[in-house]
Structure 1
Amino acid sequence: MAIIVNLDKIMEKRNITLTELSEKVGITMANLSNLKNQKARAIRFSTLDSICKALDCSPGDILEYIEDNSNEKNN
């Protein structure tokens, strides 16, 4: 299972910088950067809610599930 964070794509569509989003959401630029660069291991629902409000989007716009078949055994 792979969860992909598309925060950078949404930010680009909304023409907003990491600094601006950080100020609107009240989250450090370092934490947003980790999320944006696929380095975050978790995200709080309250954080996701704040990001969605600031970017006028839904969680499904930011998070994407891609099936990872690398764990399947070859038969």
Structure 2
Amino acid sequence: MSIKVHIDRMLVEREMSVTELSEKVGITMANISILKNGKAKAIRFSTLEQICKSLHCQPSDILEYIED
């Protein structure tokens, strides 16, 4: 099983930079990159909530479950 993260797609659709998202969410650009690249082992609900709030989206817009 794997979880695919679509933050890049949402950033393009919202015409927002990684820098702007990191400032709005309150986490470092390095942590945004870890999420974007699928290297994160976990995400706090509060962080996910802030990302969704900043991107005006639902969690399902940025997270996708893929069966092996």
Task: State the TM-score, normalizing by the size of structure 2.
Answer: 0.97
Specify every segment of 5 or more residues in structure 2 that has no aligned partner in the other structure, as ranges: none
Over aligned residue pairs, what C-alpha RMSD do you find?
A: 0.5
After TM superposition, where is structure 1 displaced by more than 2 Å over at least 4 residues in a row?
none
> For 1:43-54, what aligned pairs fall within 5 Å after superposition?
43-54=43-54
In the alignment, what sits opposite 1:27?
27
**Aligned AA (1:61):** D
**Aligned AA (1:35):** L
In the alignment, what sits opposite 1:41?
41
Higher Cα Rg, which structure: 1
SS state of the match for residue 32, structure 1? helix
**Cα deviation code 1:21-47 (max 9, x no counterpart):** 011111111001100111111100000
Specify every segment of 5 or more residues in structure 1 that has no aligned partner in the other structure, as ranges: 69-75
